Chain A
């Protein structure tokens, strides 16, 4: 005899009930946790931006952000200006750091659209930092980061993160040994924009030469590394007109 659970009607009813129950549970959880998750993401952005300008609680080896209960205050204190650059138009916007780069990338596919470029200006111990958010593609999914420059366009610090790079390989772009290498690198030669390349054939593994525009790659993560290089080049390039003006002043 056919089992009850083999009948078509049962199968269809079961499928409908299952989808309904699972859907309800997930939708309920997602909506009830949304505000908390969004808040966490907002604080994380502030932490990342501050990290790139060297405001963090790092010790010798590890990465430690400003703690979440303090970060809003510190952000207020160190980030003096948030700008949105769109062509020649520059506006101040207190919420520029919340601008969704993914949406901006999508809008920019339409050639007539001038991308809105957020730029954060930070002050620490009398020094000015220009912090630029970046977003690009890794091997599996999105990668993003923040790079802070001084007015001579020398890198003061970076922060990278990723959605789903391979653990142990590409995922290491958010580790100190990789990120710390960027500090002090130049991104321009004279007035020509060079960017920074993640190089597998780097002749300078100790990273002494700061004007070679190269960073030592992570073994086994070629595509992620190439993604980081491409991201730095394509995103910083857009800011160059503004940054060059700064340098010449």
Chain B
């Protein structure tokens, strides 16, 4: 790896597991609960956060020496909101169908605490390149978790993946439904997302006991 030093690489790989933004830093839980009922929505949200967090982290990092500390949270919020609104406007003008798909995510991104969290914890104290890596690293970690949760929720809740009926048709009783299998509608509701995230945290901490706090 000529491009990335070991330390830089760590910025990307750490958030995937041992410093995962959702399971360890407990950031971005609200959106992880809200939109993981389907795998597709999870993927779209992950890509959107990847984009915003990567660029947002760089912008904040470039501004880190001129941002007044007393109003830094407001400044961060304005930077994210501006970025998201610019993208939204441009998409509305030039890629209208895409903007329709993404519009529901706009509010979720602006208020996503993972973005404010990384600005505050990392970009304000580090250079742009490092901040960029931290941004995409955390977005990957967040996306990974969203996709895992989305996978199980859609599979067990609706019996589909990305809209394809992988388990058969529940109304015509084909596939596994022929053996009296039923979808668990509870998986589609927010509490089961919390429980799924909980199970992932449980597995992660029992594999790596160093993560357990007293």
List residues of chain A with CB under 8 Å of any chain B CB: 3, 5-6, 10-11, 14-15, 18, 22, 25-26, 29-30, 33, 36-37, 40, 44, 61, 68, 161-169, 171, 205-206, 219-220
Contact = CB atoms under 8 A, between A and B. Distances in A.
B24 interface: no
Interface in B41-95: 41, 44-45, 65-71, 74-75, 78, 82, 85-86, 89-90, 92-94
5 contacts: A10-B68, A30-B89, A33-B89, A37-B89, A167-B104
B103 A14 contact: no
Given A61-B163, A171-B41, 7 more contacts: A5-B65, A14-B71, A18-B75, A36-B93, A164-B104, A164-B107, A168-B38
Given A11-B68, A167-B38, A206 B171 contact: yes
A211 to B, nearest CB: 20
B68 A166 contact: no
Given A5-B68, A18-B78, A220 B92 contact: no
Contacts, number: 93
B44 A167 contact: yes
Contact of A33 (B38, B69, B90, B158): B90
B104 A171 contact: yes
Contacts of B93: 33, 36-37, 40
Contacts of A5: 65-69
Nearest to A65: B97
A205 B171 contact: yes
Which applies to chain B's interface (DSSP): helix, strand, loop or mixed?
helix
A167 B37 CA distance: 8
Nearest to A7: B68
Interface in B26-43: 34-38, 40-41
A171 B107 CA distance: 14
Contact of A169 (B66, B96, B163, B188): B188
B105 interface: yes
A19 B132 CA distance: 25
Nearest to B183: A219
B175 interface: no
Contacts of A61: 163
Nearest to A6: B69
- Which among A36, A40, A162, A167 has the greatest number of chain B C-beta atoms within 10 A? A167
A127 B26 CA distance: 58
A3 B65 CA distance: 11
B186 to A, nearest CB: 9
A205 B170 CA distance: 10
B66 A220 contact: no
Interface string B146-177: 00000000100110000100000001000000
B123 to A, nearest CB: 16
B198 interface: no
